[in-house]
């Protein structure tokens, strides 16, 4: 049992907000150091070595891995695909999430059900949902191809989409990239919609009502009121989606494994194939570090936008 002299000391520590804040943040810092900081330092160390999964010994070789990577045509293609995949998918996510959020702000029957259905892709495990799309986009048994054939758009001479019986969504370079982007947009759309809903809900109703009374049409209210006021929120949703897209490999790995002929290969999947499946830990670490400047820049922009939102 604590003595009478100890109680005031304990109470004094609890009352010191600055010290208490530091103590409370220690677990978060320890988690970040253990789960992010240490692996990051190990990746830097591996990237300047000749580490492999089959040899426990390693030696420092400097920047030879980076030189080899930059001369690799697959890496250059993966780098280009990464930026294309990330920016195109996030542009589509922002546009469609805005449309969905504006629709869900309206009052209509079954609104709760619509919101529930919109959130389903985000709540389902990403691997499970992507496997479902792998069946939907199957080269032989795709239900999309079946609908197109029965609609006369595919599989007959003179058909709009060609005389072949199947589209081969994941077997042709352009269609494969479009399919991967579509599934990724489907995956991230619910989260972006919720963020946009929060932004739209924060706009004062009297401001919108005043604009409506003044005769401002829907598109004019969107351009002059809702979009400017929610621009920081849109920016945060876009940057968060970029970080998630740059670092995620599940959709590409499940659907195409980077194929056909590396046409959908991105840096995250190429890192996995090179470093884990290929056993070359050094080059895998070097490839992964190419994402660091991009992610650091995006994170900095996100923090600035978040601070601007707090000030507003």
Alpha-carbon distance of 39 to 223, in angstroms, equals 45
Model pLDDT for residues 127-138, shown as the tens digit of each residue: 888 999 999 999
Phi-psi group of 168: left, alpha or beta (phi > 0 → left; psi -120 to 50 → alpha; rest → beta): left
What is the residue-averaged pLDDT of the chain? Answer: 83
Alpha-carbon distance of 132 to 137, in angstroms, equals 9
Kindly state the helix (H) or strand (E) to which residue 55 belongs, with its residue range: none
Q: How many Cβ atoms are within 10 Å of 249's Cβ, its own excluded? A: 16
Q: Closest Cα to residue 264, out of 138, 167, 131, 174?
A: 174
The least confident of 69-78, 119-128, 247-256, 269-278 is 119-128
Local confidence band at 257 (pLDDT 50, 70, 90 cut-offs): very high
Report pLDDT for 178.
94
Model pLDDT for residues 44-84, shown as the tens digit of each residue: 898 899 888 887 788 898 899 899 999 999 999 999 999 99
The angle, 0 to 180 degrees and rounded to 10, between the axes of the packed helices 73-104 and 227-247 is 140
Alpha-carbon distance of 78 to 128, in angstroms, equals 25
Q: Is residue 260 reached through a cis peptide bond, with omega within 30 degrees of 0 on the bond before it?
A: yes
Phi-psi group of 155: left, alpha or beta (phi > 0 → left; psi -120 to 50 → alpha; rest → beta): left
Judge contact between 170 and 140, C-beta under 8 A: no
Judge contact between 283 and 274, C-beta under 8 A: yes
Kindly state which CATH superfamily the domain 72-311 is placed in.
MetI-like (1.10.3720.10)
Half-sphere exposure of 80 (CA within 13 A, CB side): 9
Give the distance, in angstroms, between the CA of residue 300 and the centroid of all CA atoms in the same chain.
Answer: 17
Model pLDDT for residues 161-180, shown as the tens digit of each residue: 888 888 899 999 999 999 99
275-284 as b/e: b if 16+ CB within 10 A = beeeebbbbb
Report pLDDT for 31.
83
Q: Break the chain into its structural domains and give their ranges.
A: 72-311
Alpha-carbon distance of 200 to 98, in angstroms, equals 9
Report pLDDT for 15.
63
Local confidence band at 306 (pLDDT 50, 70, 90 cut-offs): low
């Amino acid at each position: 049992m604590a003595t009478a002299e100890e109680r005031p000391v304990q109470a004094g520590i609890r009352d010191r907000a600055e010290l208490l804040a530091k103590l409370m943040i220690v677990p978060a810092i320890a988690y970040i150091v253990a789960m992010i900081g240490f692996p990051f330092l190990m990746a830097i160390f591996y990237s300047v070595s000749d580490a492999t999964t089959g040899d426990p010994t390693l030696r420092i070789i400097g920047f030879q891995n980076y030189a080899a990577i930059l001369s690799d045509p697959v890496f250059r293609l993966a780098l280009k695909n990464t930026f294309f995949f990330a920016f195109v998918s996030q542009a589509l996510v922002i546009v469609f999430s805005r449309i969905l959020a504006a629709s869900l702000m309206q009052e209509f029957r079954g609104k709760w059900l619509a919101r529930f259905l919109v959130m389903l892709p985000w709540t389902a495990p990403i691997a499970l949902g992507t496997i479902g799309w792998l069946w939907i986009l199957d080269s032989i048994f795709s239900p999309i191809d079946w609908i197109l054939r029965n609609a006369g758009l595919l599989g007959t001479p003179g058909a709009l989409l060609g005389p072949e019986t199947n589209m081969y969504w994941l077997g042709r370079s352009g269609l494969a990239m479009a399919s991967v982007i579509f599934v990724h947009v489907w995956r991230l759309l619910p989260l972006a919609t919720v963020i946009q809903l929060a932004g739209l809900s924060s706009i004062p109703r009297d401001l919108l009502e005043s604009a409506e009374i003044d005769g401002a049409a829907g598109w004019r209210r969107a351009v002059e009121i809702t979009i400017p006021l929610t621009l920081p929120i849109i920016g945060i949703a876009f940057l968060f989606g970029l970080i998630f897209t740059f670092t995620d490999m599940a959709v590409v790995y499940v659907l195409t494994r980077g194929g056909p002929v590396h046409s959908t290969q991105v840096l995250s999947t190429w890192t996995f194939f090179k470093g884990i499946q290929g056993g070359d830990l050094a080059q895998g670490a070097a490839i992964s570090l190419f994402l660091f400047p991009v992610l650091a820049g995006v994170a900095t922009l996100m923090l600035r936008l978040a601070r601007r939102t707090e000030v507003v």
